[in-house]
Amino acid sequence: MDFGDRHVVITGGTGALGGAVVAALVAANASCHVPYVHTGEAERFPLRNHPKVKLVGGIDLTDEAAVARLYDGVPQLWASIHLAGGFAAAPVSATKKADLTKQVDLNLVTAFLSCSAAVNAIARSGAGGRIVNVAARAALEWRSGAGMAAYTASKAAVAALTAALAEEVAKQGILVNAVAPSIMDTPANRAAMPKADFAAWPKVEEVAATITFLASPDNKVSRGGIVPVYGRS
């Protein structure tokens, strides 16, 4: 794949999956714009000094004005990849309104505001583009969300947003898709589940490869898909 120096926004780009996605994108000759909130995120990011990477600080993705500022600073946006989110597990009986709202903000609101700003930015170029969201396995297999219903509902909403938006903007040449990972093989997940079969988990580089294709010019027809990326798990 060759992005031909096209500009791509990657929210959540400083995380474990984000790092793999940004690495895949720069290898494919993309110019990457990576927002962050805390200085530590940028300082730990392995590709912070890469010439194809621009880190953009002080961006709260739940703040509409901050999101608009991010996208206004990107010349001729081609693709927007939305990896930002959060996870919490608790039974419904122990989940307060504030807990639910936090999951909706972290997962749905960040994706929705980024999608909105991306559609407007891509439309300004008139050349079409790509949007990729991140749902979750539980967003497709609701019963697997027992014990984490707030998270499941917020990610199911991301899946619905993806399918609806894909239909809405197809005639503008904007192809919208999402991936739905199972538990990925990250240091944090290994630490949280030390007895799990790590070999069955999808690697972040493998999930990143699917995301990169969906965001690329090589994807000419796929839209409205919520693509399972489960590995062998």
pTM of the model: 0.96
Task: Express as a percent the part of the chain with pLDDT over 70.
Answer: 100
Render pLDDT for 10-61 as a digit per residue (tens, 0 to 9).
Answer: 999 999 999 999 999 999 999 999 999 999 999 999 999 999 999 999 999 9
Mean pLDDT on 168-187: 95
Judge whether 2 lies within some domain.
no
State the alpha helices, DSSP H only, in the chain: 16-27, 39-44, 64-72, 97-103, 110-125, 137-140, 149-169, 187-192, 204-215
Render pLDDT for 79-123 as a digit per residue (tens, 0 to 9).
Answer: 999 999 999 999 999 999 999 999 999 999 999 999 999 999 999
How confident is the prediction for the chain on average, in pLDDT?
A: 96
- What integer pLDDT is reported at residue 233 of this predicted model? 85
- What integer pLDDT is reported at residue 232 of this predicted model? 87
Contact call for residues 80 and 9 (beta carbons, < 8 A): yes
Judge whether 153 lies within some domain.
yes
pLDDT level of residue 171 (50, 70, 90 thresholds): very high
Judge whether 201 lies within some domain.
yes
- Give the DSSP letter of residue 117: H
Judge whether 1 lies within some domain.
no
Contacts of 43-51 with CB under 8 Å at 24 or more apart are 44/14, 45/13, 45/14, 45/19, 46/19, 47/19, 47/22, 47/23, 50/26
- What integer pLDDT is reported at residue 108 of this predicted model? 98
Count of domains forming the chain: 1
Q: What is the CATH number of the domain that holds 130?
A: 3.40.50.720
Judge whether 115 lies within some domain.
yes
Contact call for residues 139 and 106 (beta carbons, < 8 A): no
Q: Which domain holds residue 193?
A: 7-229
Judge whether 151 lies within some domain.
yes
Judge whether 56 lies within some domain.
yes
pLDDT level of residue 172 (50, 70, 90 thresholds): very high
- What integer pLDDT is reported at residue 118 of this predicted model? 98
